[in-house]
């Protein structure tokens, strides 16, 4: 069988970048907000349409498609030694509110294009190749990041937690999943039935835009990820007496809104005091109740995202934030009604064998490349717990992401698809 890896592969690999760009543009129309923004929330109508669209491409490629109880979708190209652990690749298509059309999408549509590149080149996989669409990587609806991959790698806590999870409109995860055609079975092991065993895959790869400015600034075509930073997210609620903005004098106040504001600045202080530029902290959500200009906030709700490539440093920041929340509540005589660490995950390292394969392939394709860390998290962060893992980054415009100005050029996308295709081929023959 033709093996693009041994033959002079660089020109026999033809990436149909026009069709791929059309697919990226078409997928972006399944959005709850107007172009050029994309909003595609887990199990929404637009998410269901987008899933149908992806599944139709998987079927056109002759892949065998299966979906698990939470909507992870697997499309497999049987290898001639199909009993061996497969080589998988994939990413996500859910999009946070008012974001762009490349985050995650490049790693799903690009993976399907990599499969069609290999099929067109006459390649025959030894280990089966599998494209995974993870059901939801963004924490938007249920506050759980990498929900699909977290469950796949066997999170008992999550398989239990999902039975009670509800979104901001009080819709349960179960009802939302069922409305999208998943989670139909009634038995108790519904979610743990999703778990995959360690070694289920020989390797897992993810193609993704860098979501940072380094590759573009340095004019490098390919990023080979060596490690993924350790993410954590926290939900905090304060309660105070509230009251009339005119009649309650300052000494008598216990303002939940100001407690939240002070905690937000305390997050920034703890992060800046960590001793490393690699520590980051963000207050992405800050809600005041009742939200009337002339009413002292009686409740406030913050959601905090903090990360670092060093787990210890990240954990120190999390406990510093907790101490500040308690101290601010006492001093301002408000109640710290909840301080919930939603997730506090370790970092992940890419596998040497996968990194070397990506290096070799990039060299073979004459593509400039560099080793780098990922400050964004990805489903790969969890897949690394059950499989060798590696990630391929392509440059994106000014590093913009999670906003509609997100952009990756057809040339960069095609380069990423080529590196993915050849790395898949190489690992499939291992
Ligand atoms: O937030 C992240 O790191 C990912 O892009 N969802
Ligand atoms: Mn994202
Ligand atoms: Mn992503
Ligand atoms: Mn090199």
ipTM for this prediction? 0.91
Phi, psi torsion values for 179, nearest 5 degrees: -65, -20
Please report the pLDDT score of residue 13 as a whole number.
84
CA of 374 to the centre of ligand 2 (A): 12
Ligand 1 proximity of 137 Cβ (cutoff 6 Å): yes
Q: How far apart are CA 79 and CA 226, in angstroms?
A: 28
Q: How far apart are CA 255 and CA 240, in angstroms?
A: 6
Which residue's alpha carbon is nearest to atom 5 within ligand 1? 376
Residue 302: its H or E element: strand 299-308
DSSP state of 139: -
Q: How far apart are CA 64 and CA 58, in angstroms?
A: 8
Q: Which atom of ligand 1 is nearest to the CA of 211?
A: 5
Tell the residue number behind the tokens 């409305």, with chain if given.
Answer: 179
Q: Which atom of ligand 1 is nearest to the CA of 307?
A: 3
The neighbouring-strand residues paired with 389 are 204
Encoding tokens for residue 74?
């697997």
Crossing angle between the packed helical segments 17-28 and 45-60, to the nearest 10 degrees:
160
Ligand 1 proximity of 102 Cβ (cutoff 6 Å): no
Cα–Cα distances (Å) from 244 to 34, 288, 401, in that order, read: 39, 15, 41
Tens-place pLDDT, residues 112-167: 999 999 999 999 999 999 999 999 999 999 999 999 999 999 999 999 999 999 99
Q: Which atom of ligand 1 is nearest to the CA of 137?
A: 6
392 alpha carbon, distance to own chain's centre? 14
CA of 99 to the centre of ligand 2 (A): 9
Question: How many CB atoms neighbour CB 327 within 10 A?
Answer: 14
Phi, psi torsion values for 326, nearest 5 degrees: -65, -45
Q: What is the value of pTM for the model shown? A: 0.95
Q: How far apart are CA 372 and CA 391, in angstroms?
A: 10
For ligand 2, a single-atom ion, the residues with CB < 5 A are 103
> Which residues make Cβ contacts (< 8 Å) with residue 131, sequence separation at least 6?
58, 63, 74, 75, 88, 89, 90, 108, 111, 112, 115
Q: How far apart are CA 198 and CA 195, in angstroms?
A: 10
Residue 369: its H or E element: strand 369-374
Which residue's alpha carbon is nearest to atom 3 within ligand 1? 376
Phi, psi torsion values for 36, nearest 5 degrees: -85, 10
DSSP state of 342: E
Q: How far apart are CA 122 and CA 17, in angstroms?
A: 19
Phi, psi torsion values for 352, nearest 5 degrees: -55, -45
Q: How far apart are the first and last CA of the chain?
A: 15
Please report the pLDDT score of residue 188 as a whole number.
80
Please report the pLDDT score of residue 190 as a whole number.
86
Please report the pLDDT score of residue 353 as a whole number.
98
Among 139, 145, 225, 230, name the best residue to mutate to test ligand 1's pocket (greatest count of ligand atoms within 8 A of Cβ). Answer: 145
DSSP state of 127: S
The neighbouring-strand residues paired with 64 are 76
Q: Which atom of ligand 1 is nearest to the CA of 146?
A: 6
Ligand 1 proximity of 138 Cβ (cutoff 6 Å): yes
Q: SS3 for 126?
A: coil
Ligand 1 proximity of 216 Cβ (cutoff 6 Å): no
Count Cβ atoms within 10 A of the Cβ of residue 8 and give its class: 0-12 exposed, 13-18 middle, 19 or more buried.
exposed
Q: SS3 for 275?
A: coil
**Closest by alpha carbon to 361, among 426, 406, 304?**
426
CA of 10 to the centre of ligand 3 (A): 28
The neighbouring-strand residues paired with 86 are 201
CA of 248 to the centre of ligand 3 (A): 47
CB 65 within 8 A of CB 181: no
User: Residues in the chain with pLDDT < 50?
Assistant: none
Ligand 1 proximity of 377 Cβ (cutoff 6 Å): yes
Q: How far apart are CA 256 and CA 252, in angstroms?
A: 13
Ligand 1 proximity of 237 Cβ (cutoff 6 Å): no
Count Cβ atoms within 10 A of the Cβ of residue 384 and give its class: 0-12 exposed, 13-18 middle, 19 or more buried.
buried
Ligand 1 proximity of 134 Cβ (cutoff 6 Å): no
């Amino acid at each position: 069988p033709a093996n693009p890896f041994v033959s002079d592969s660089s020109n026999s690999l033809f990436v149909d970048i026009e069709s791929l760009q059309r697919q990226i543009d078409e997928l972006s129309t399944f959005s709850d907000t107007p172009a050029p923004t994309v909003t595609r929330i887990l199990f929404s109508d637009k998410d269901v349409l987008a899933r149908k669209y992806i599944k139709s491409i998987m079927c056109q490629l002759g892949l065998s498609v299966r979906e698990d109880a939470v909507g992870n979708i697997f499309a497999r190209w049987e290898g001639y030694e199909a009993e061996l652990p497969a080589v998988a690749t994939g990413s996500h298509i859910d999009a946070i509110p008012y974001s762009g059309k490349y985050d995650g999408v490049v790693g799903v549509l690009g993976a399907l294009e990599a499969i069609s590149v290999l099929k067109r080149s006459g390649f025959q996989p030894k280990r089966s190749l599998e494209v995974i669409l993870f059901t939801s990587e963004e924490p938007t609806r249920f506050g759980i990041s990498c929900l699909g991959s977290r469950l796949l790698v066997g999170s008992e806590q999550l398989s239990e937690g999902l039975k009670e999870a509800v979104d901001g409109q009080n819709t349960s995860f179960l009802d939302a999943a069922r409305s999208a055609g998943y989670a139909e079975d009634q038995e108790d092991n519904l979610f743990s039935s999703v778990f995959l065993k360690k070694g289920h895959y020989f390797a897992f790869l993810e193609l993704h835009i860098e979501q940072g400015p380094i590759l573009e600034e340095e004019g490098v075509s390919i990023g080979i990820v060596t490690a993924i930073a350790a993410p954590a997210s926290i939900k905090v609620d304060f309660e105070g007496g509230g009251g009339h903005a005119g009649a309650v004098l300052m000494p008598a106040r216990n303002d939940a809104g100001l407690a939240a504001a002070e905690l937000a600045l305390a997050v920034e202080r703890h992060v800046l005091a960590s001793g490393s530029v690699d520590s980051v902290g963000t207050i992405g959500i800050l809600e005041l109740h009742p939200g009337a200009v002339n009413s002292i906030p009686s409740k406030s709700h913050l959601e905090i995202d903090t990360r670092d490539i060093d787990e210890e440093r990240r954990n120190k920041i999390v406990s510093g934030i907790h101490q500040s929340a308690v101290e601010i509540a006492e001093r301002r005589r408000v109640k710290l009604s909840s301080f919930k660490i939603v997730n506090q995950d370790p970092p992940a390292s890419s596998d040497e064998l996968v990194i070397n394969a990506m290096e070799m392939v990039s060299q073979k394709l004459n593509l400039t490349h560099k080793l780098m860390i990922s400050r964004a998290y990805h489903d790969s962060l969890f897949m690394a717990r059950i499989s060798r893992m590696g990630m391929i980054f392509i440059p994106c415009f000014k590093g913009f992401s999670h906003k509609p100005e997100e952009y990756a050029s057809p040339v960069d996308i095609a380069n990423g698809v080529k590196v993915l295709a050849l790395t898949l081929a190489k690992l499939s023959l291992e």
